[in-house]
Structure 1
């Protein structure tokens, strides 16, 4: 651990991982590196000022929330509470009969939401403080689910991956409807409680609905524990939490992203240093990396929100600090 800490200190002194707040790296359940530092932070758009981060400090994980939502979907599916991926989507939203009557929208399935391939107009390439950003507009809408489902149709569903927090919002609604619980309530009962995670926050939009796309706040240790669950094929401490079949299905590559990675069900799939990499990624440099061949989980948090180079800090720590110690 001391060698990795020295390498991390060198990287930070060189300015190659600016904005980094915390790193937790586990191998085979054993802590390899745990690091915290002070930094300016936000909860969504609200400034928290300079925060002295530590093991118990909650942090936005932004869109890594999507990957957690996929785990919750798999748990609910295993209990028969939500529709299978191949099932049509709009019958699960009966209060929108006008949308269901559209034959093009009627082609939408749950899998199209899981893979972000709805074929609807959706722009999240604008700053997340702007209401022109589709996710922010969704959070401000009086009915987030209608907002998503009535977006203009651009192409047939299933053709192409397009980053879409609205797709995850639909999954969150299916979970809430199927379980009879809010997303945070179900997460506590079905995932966080069994993992021994007793502190989290889940932010809501203007409608009071927890954001399945980006609202979760976790301590980095607990985020790493989620990664350990994925690494264990859905089991943790010899307890089955997520069906193993769902983990396998969730992590199958389905569609290419715009930068070369593949996308499964709300998780990114690529390789690094010749090793398979499974990742949840969030704005600002939030990352959950799982490398099955190395029995390695890495959780990173950072404050580089909306920065075009936000990817740099977590990738630098992984490539220059953690992976060299795996030799």
Structure 2
């Protein structure tokens, strides 16, 4: 990755200096890192103090540390976008025929759930959060069994796949958006059955190694399934590499990693997945594709489209094709709102345009 300067890509240095000071002073709650890649150069990289993530601590805040370039950070639901990339690669490599296949083609141990309309759930439905399965991940507080994703970790760790598939079908697959991290965990099992490799091995062989990412960690359930909904830990620069790959239509340093078609599918709103408000964010209304969020920014009369991987607490990989730019954030805003869109709207876009 080539290091450059703000001046080389015409980013206003005074505005960016002001932003750095505001982040350092906590004006945007806890931002742990911010990186900007523009026009083939890493031109902004800043790390700040903040709390490590700790599930059983007040506000989920553990030790107070100085984050740095070598520190792996929980990327939470940004993990889902990495799993989407792995599914796209598996299709490209022939492990999976296509995203329209029934999920039960790759779940031999769960055929008893292939009934009552669930047989129509496809891989694409899991990727786009439109499986139709009843699921409450946003409406119920964390730390309670009413929150379905927390229940997987507390009550269903011996078989999280069953925990997802036993849910009732509340709508026709493909029609309604319901945020469902459990569906992404099922995708991890599908990937394992299709390729003969677990998620850690597959992602290492076909994604991370090719991107020069040599340090990753995952959480596994008691039965060995991987928590593909949000347990991946990565360094900020490694998150940036992934974003650059999608900015470059699936290529990293001249090598095709993910097909261009899959990048297009990922960054395009699926069906009725529009006008979605995400709890804990200032992102407004969003669209959702193949496990990537979509947004539009308005600046000085210009509409700018972006797509991004997003995670609880202020983790984000924002891709701006129109500006040839990727922005990465990590943060610790688990019990407070993240203000990443305010940063982009009030500082980055005015600095760039």
TM-score tier by shorter-chain length is over 0.9
Q: Deviations over 1:151-175 (max 9, x none)?
A: 0221111111111001111111111
Instruction: State whether structure 2 residue 310 is matched by structure 1 residue 281.
Output: yes
Instruction: State whether structure 2 residue 250 is matched by structure 1 residue 237.
Output: no
SS of 1:190's partner is helix
- The match for 2:119 is 106
Please tell me whether the aligned partners of residues 119 and 156 of structure 1 are also in contact (alpha carbons under 8 angstroms).
yes
SS of 2:143's partner is coil
- The match for 2:178 is 162
Per the normalisation by structure 2, the TM-score is 0.87
Q: Deviations over 1:256-291 (max 9, x none)?
A: 252332111000112112111101110001111000
| Change in 2 beyond 3 A, CA 1:4/1:183 | farther
Within a 5 Å distance, the mapping from 1:233-272 to structure 2 comes to 233-254=249-270, 255-259=273-277, 260-272=285-297
- The match for 2:223 is 207
In structure 1, C-alpha distance between the alignment counterparts of 2:347 and 2:21, rounded to whole Å: 9
Task: Report deviation, 1:105.
Answer: 1.1
Q: CA RMSD in A?
A: 1.8
Task: Report deviation, 1:77.
Answer: 0.7
Instruction: State whether structure 2 residue 149 is matched by structure 1 residue 135.
Output: yes
- 5+ residue gaps, structure 2, are 1-5, 7-12, 278-284
- The match for 1:305 is 334
Please tell me whether the aligned partners of residues 292 and 308 of structure 2 are also in contact (alpha carbons under 8 angstroms).
yes
In structure 1, C-alpha distance between the alignment counterparts of 2:237 and 2:127, rounded to whole Å: 26
- The match for 1:8 is 19
Aligned pairs, number = 323
In structure 2, C-alpha distance between the alignment counterparts of 1:190 and 1:306, rounded to whole Å: 35
- The match for 1:316 is 342
In structure 1, C-alpha distance between the alignment counterparts of 2:55 and 2:291, rounded to whole Å: 20
Per the normalisation by structure 1, the TM-score is 0.93
SS of 1:233's partner is coil
SS of 1:181's partner is coil
| Change in 2 beyond 3 A, CA 1:14/1:57 | closer
Residue of structure 1 aligned with 2:244, choices 218, 228, 242: 228
Residue range with higher mean Cα deviation, 180-189 or 277-286: 180-189
Task: Report deviation, 1:114.
Answer: 1.2
In structure 2, C-alpha distance between the alignment counterparts of 1:45 and 1:108, rounded to whole Å: 35
| Change in 2 beyond 3 A, CA 1:81/1:13 | closer
Please tell me whether the aligned partners of residues 189 and 225 of structure 2 are also in contact (alpha carbons under 8 angstroms).
no
- The match for 1:184 is 200
Residue range with higher mean Cα deviation, 279-288 or 252-261: 252-261
Task: Report deviation, 1:127.
Answer: 3.4
Instruction: State whether structure 2 residue 129 is matched by structure 1 residue 121.
Output: no
Runs of 4+ in 1 over 6 A off after TM superposition: none
Residue range with higher mean Cα deviation, 260-269 or 138-147: 138-147
